[in-house]
Amino acid sequence: MSVDTATVKRVAKLARIAIRDEEAERLAPELGNILGWIEQLGEVDTSSVQPMTAVIPNHLRLRDDVVTDGGIRAKVLANAPEGEHGFFTVPKVIE
Amino acid sequence: MSDLTDLGIRQIRDGVANGDLSAREVAEAFNAAVAAAKPLNAFIVETPEHALAAADKVDQARAAGETLPSMAGVPIGMKDLFCTNGVQTTAASHILEGFKPEYESTVSQKLWDAGAGMLGKLNLDQFAMGSSNETSYFGNVVSPWRRNDGGNAPLAPGGSSGGSAAVVAGRIAPGATGTDTGGSIRQPAAFVGISGIKPTYGRCSRWGTIAFASSLDQAGPMARDVRDCAIMLEAMSGFDAKDATSLDVPVPQWEAGLNASMAGKRVGIPREYRVDNMPEEIEALWQQGIAWMKDAGAEIVEVSLPHTRYALPAYYIIAPAEASSNLARYDGVRYGQRDLPEAANLQDMYAATRAAGFGDEVKRRILIGTYVLSAGFYDAYFTQASKVRALIAQDFERAWERCDVLLTPTAPSAAFALGEKSADPLAMYLNDVFTVPSSLAGLPAMSVPGGLDKAGLPLGLQVIGRALDEQGVLNAALAIEERAGFNARPERWW
């Protein structure tokens, strides 16, 4: 399995991780090696197998539809890198 | 009393309960051991005041004649993957540097409710991704063990719970929390000659534990012996409505149920765990383990787990896929570090923040995960891996028709030197070959020390059990522990 640098850059863009050209060049063979190794899974016949969805049989619980939390704005914002007037702030997204 | 730091969890609990020890003197002794252990780099944050406050509370409760809870007076190390209220929690990453949670993880809260105190937050592989504790932003943890060749090469404590392993083995904490996604409790426990159990998936709440791969992540205890693990696991386990996958089942009294007799039990030996290039010493230890099981009264049966060889590749699709999704939350907006280059827009800020905040191994896994989940590849990789995972679980189900527990080595080698494997990610991944299958199947599994190799380093044996049969796992491990008589400990050089 060979992965080219264009693929690395495309995947990095999807993952929202900035990478430099030399990093993409270093990562391409590394990822190619790992993906080549995991491709051996293709040889397992799984035509009659359902994919696992729960590792231990369990059921989804329902709870009463009531408010159980809230009123903790200061706590929610306490670790924000930047906040103003009780909001998270980010660079301008609308011109 | 010789040295208080020689005491384990049970001894401290009993000593405090019957008045032979004050919780405060125990906390002070371990705080001093923590302060003296800097060369191991096992702690990211030290919290001596937390340990003392918990101890004083226990001493006051005892003076008032109250019944003490199950871990009263026991100071422990907390892996820095558990959110602790007001105490920096980083997952050994730069992106969470300075993050002080406004809440407490369920597992840590249960331990504080049980009377335990916190010595500090323990170093680990970044976001628990690694098998050697070499991916931490805060530097490698150095194992307290050294080879007996006089070379003093710094050794890996294993990973990802490397700090937890180092402090328990070095008598710096009587117990520590670990988390296990593909072997992160068991492999480090084996590398440093201590015990550690990953319970059934769902036993310990994941709430407040920083997520790596949610369908695999399980917390568990690491301690000096099987009984101490049983005590600590009881305190950590239990239903939690805040975790959708938490199991709503009673927590058994594992300590009270300990029994080292294997009479009437069948121990399965999976033939597929005999891997190429396995060191003779590992094979010899495995045979020794089989002999111990027979001696304890067990019947030995050979079993087959035919899909074992596909466990690692399936794991390295599923775990990175889940990680890429879980780690999408680190965006530089709500918590953690932000990197905002000059004139950057929002998308640039995300990409720069994540580039600066994640280490190489974390990026590698996010990229693998993003790739296998991306359009056109999802079925070939993720769906196929989920199907193979079902087959692996089925292998175990068939094995349980013929045996009660499985016995295997924990890792394919003893501890390696720091730097020895870090250049080759794939070689590092292969270290988890014996621990990953039971993780994929959500089964309880434990590592217990079996002996030393020629270089004087510990080797571990692994016991795997049926879902929810932690008692069977603990009992088989206890049978091994009693026969192995493992009492080696690292000579203090730090």
- Would B494 be classed as within a structural domain? no
Tens-place pLDDT, residues B444-488: 999 999 999 999 999 999 999 999 999 999 999 999 999 999 999
Report yes or no: B60 and B186 within 8 Å, Cβ to Cβ.
no
B160, B161, B195, B413: the active-site residue: B160
Beta bridge partners of B462: B408, B447
The 10 Å Cβ neighbour count of residue B266 is: 16
Task: Please tell me the predicted confidence (pLDDT) of residue B1.
Answer: 44
- Would A16 be classed as within a structural domain? yes
Calculate mean pLDDT across residues B390-405. Answer: 98
B164, B184, B237, B413: the active-site residue: B184
Contact at CB, B381 and A33, closer than 8 angstroms: no
Which of these, B102, B31, B45, lies nearest to B78 by C-alpha position?
B45
Asked about B184 being catalytic, the answer comes back as: yes
Tens-place pLDDT, residues B18-44: 999 999 999 999 999 999 999 999 999
Using CB atoms and an 8 Å cut-off, which of residues 94-153 of chain B contact chain A?
98-103
Q: Tell me how far CA of residue B99 lies from CA of A5, B84, B192, B355, in angstroms.
A: 34, 10, 30, 18
Sign of the CA dihedral running B191, B195, B196, B200: positive
Number of Cα atoms under 13 Å in the Cβ half of residue B375? 2
What burial class does residue B423 get, using C-beta atoms within 10 Å of its C-beta: 0-12 exposed, 13-18 middle, 19+ buried?
A: exposed
Task: Tell whether omega for the bond before B160 is within 30 degrees of 0, i.e. cis.
Answer: yes
Whose tokens are 């019947």? That residue is B299
Q: Tell me how far CA of residue B393 lies from CA of A53, B3, B204, in angstroms.
A: 12, 46, 20
Using CB atoms and an 8 Å cut-off, which of residues 356-395 of chain B contact chain A?
358, 363-364, 366-368, 370-372, 374, 380-381, 383-391, 393
- Would A36 be classed as within a structural domain? yes
- Would B46 be classed as within a structural domain? yes
Q: Indicate the range of B22-26, B375-379, B402-406, B469-473 predicted with least confidence.
A: B375-379
Chain A CB contacts of B97 under 8 Å are none
CATH code for position A17? 1.10.20
**CA B35/CA B70 separation, integer angstroms:** 27
At B356, list the tokens. Answer: 């600066």
Q: Looking at the complex, does the CB of residue B347 fall below 8 Å from at least one CB of chain A?
A: yes
- Would B200 be classed as within a structural domain? yes
- Give yes or no for residue B145 having a pLDDT over 60: yes
What total number of domains does chain B contain? 1
- Would A25 be classed as within a structural domain? yes
Task: Please tell me the predicted confidence (pLDDT) of residue A95.
Answer: 67
Contact at CB, B393 and A44, closer than 8 angstroms: no
What burial class does residue B219 get, using C-beta atoms within 10 Å of its C-beta: 0-12 exposed, 13-18 middle, 19+ buried?
A: buried
Chain B CB contacts of A44 under 8 Å are 307, 310, 384, 387-388, 391
Name the pairing type of β-strands B266-270 and B218-223. unpaired
Tens-place pLDDT, residues A33-81: 999 999 999 999 999 999 998 899 888 888 899 999 999 999 999 999 9
B211 phi/psi in degrees, rounded to 5 = -80, 140
A87 phi/psi in degrees, rounded to 5 = -130, 160
Confidence of residue B272 (pLDDT cuts 50, 70, 90): very high
Which of A12, A38, A79 lies nearest to residue B367, judging by beta carbons?
A12
Instruction: For residue A13, give its domain range.
Output: 5-42
- Would A86 be classed as within a structural domain? no
Residue positions counted in chain A: 95
Calculate mean pLDDT across residues B85-105. Answer: 98
Which of these, B152, B109, B341, B142, lies nearest to B242 by C-alpha position?
B109
- Would B479 be classed as within a structural domain? yes
Name the pairing type of β-strands B458-465 and B445-452. antiparallel
Disruptive mutation site among A1, A11, A53 for chain B (greatest number of B CBs within 10 Å) = A11
Report yes or no: B209 and B179 within 8 Å, Cβ to Cβ.
yes
- Would A37 be classed as within a structural domain? yes
Which DSSP string do the residues of A39-74 spell out, in sequence order?
A: GGGGGS--TT-PPP--SS--------SS------HH
- Would A84 be classed as within a structural domain? no
Q: Indicate the range of B119-128, B297-306, B424-433, B472-481 predicted with least confidence.
A: B424-433
Asked about B374 being catalytic, the answer comes back as: no
- Give yes or no for residue B7 having a pLDDT over 50: yes
Name the pairing type of β-strands B43-46 and B75-79. unpaired
Calculate mean pLDDT across residues B167-172. Answer: 98
- Would B247 be classed as within a structural domain? yes
CATH code for position B235? 3.90.1300.10
Task: Please tell me the predicted confidence (pLDDT) of residue B407.
Answer: 98
A20 dihedral zone (left: phi>0; alpha: psi -120 to 50; beta): beta
- Would A13 be classed as within a structural domain? yes
Calculate mean pLDDT across residues B341-349. Answer: 94
Which of A12, A46, A52 lies nearest to residue B393, judging by beta carbons?
A52
Confidence of residue B378 (pLDDT cuts 50, 70, 90): very high
Report yes or no: B452 and B191 within 8 Å, Cβ to Cβ.
no
- Would B363 be classed as within a structural domain? no
Helix (H, G, I), strand (E, B) or coil at B332: coil
At B167, list the tokens. Answer: 């402090």
SS (H, E, C) chain B: CCCHHHCCHHHHHHHHHCCCCCHHHHHHHHHHHHHCCHHHCCEEEECHHHHHHHHHHHHHHHHCCCCCCCCCCCEEEEECCECECCECCCCCCCCCCCCCCCCCCHHHHHHHHCCCEEEEEECCCHHHCCCCCCCCCCCCCCCCCCCCCCCCCCECCCCCCHHHHHHHHCCCCCEEEEEECCCCCHHHHHHHCCEEEECCCCCCCCCCECCCCCCCCEEEEEECCHHHHHHHHHHHCCCCCCCCCCCCCCCCCCCCCCCCCCCCCEEEEEHHHCCCCCCHHHHHHHHHHHHHHHHCCCEEEEECCCCHHHHHHHHHHHHHHHHHHHHHHCCCCCCCCCCCCCCCCHHHHHHHHHHHHCCHHHHHHHHHHHHHHCCCCHHHHHHHHHHHHHHHHHHHHHHCCCCCEEEEECCCCCCCECCCCCCCHHHHHHHHCCCHHHHHCCCCEEEEEEEECCCCCEEEEEEEECCCCHHHHHHHHHHHHHHHCCCCCCCCCC
- Would A93 be classed as within a structural domain? no
- Would B78 be classed as within a structural domain? yes
- Chain B nearest C-alpha distance from A43 (Å): 10
- Helices vs. strands in chain A: H and E counts, helices first: 3, 2
pTM for the structure as a whole: 0.97
Q: What is the largest CA-CA distance in chain B?
A: 72
Q: Looking at the complex, does the CB of residue B28 fall below 8 Å from at least one CB of chain A?
A: no
What total number of domains does chain A contain? 1
Whose tokens are 């300590």? That residue is B255
Contact at CB, A41 and B389, closer than 8 angstroms: no
At A43, list the tokens. Answer: 């040889």
**CA B422/CA B420 separation, integer angstroms:** 6
Tens-place pLDDT, residues A18-40: 999 999 999 999 999 999 999 99
Asked about B363 being catalytic, the answer comes back as: no
B22, B70, B79, B110: the active-site residue: B79
Task: Please tell me the predicted confidence (pLDDT) of residue B2.
Answer: 60
Instruction: For residue B186, give its domain range.
Output: 4-261+471-484
Please report the number of interchain residue pairs, chain A to chain B, with beta-carbon separation below 8 angstroms.
164
Chain B CB contacts of A55 under 8 Å are 201, 215-216, 393, 440-442
Tens-place pLDDT, residues B275-300: 888 889 999 999 999 999 999 999 99
Confidence of residue B46 (pLDDT cuts 50, 70, 90): very high
Q: Average pLDDT, whole number, for chain B?
A: 97
Q: Looking at the complex, does the CB of residue B242 fall below 8 Å from at least one CB of chain A?
A: no
In chain B, what percentage of residues exceed pLDDT 70?
100
**CA B431/CA A7 separation, integer angstroms:** 28
Calculate mean pLDDT across residues B66-84. Answer: 98
Which of B215, B340, B426 lies nearest to residue A55, judging by beta carbons?
B215
Using CB atoms and an 8 Å cut-off, which of residues 279-308 of chain B contact chain A?
307
Which of B98, B241, B245 lies nearest to residue A58, judging by beta carbons?
B245
**CA B373/CA B217 separation, integer angstroms:** 20
Task: Please tell me the predicted confidence (pLDDT) of residue A59.
Answer: 83
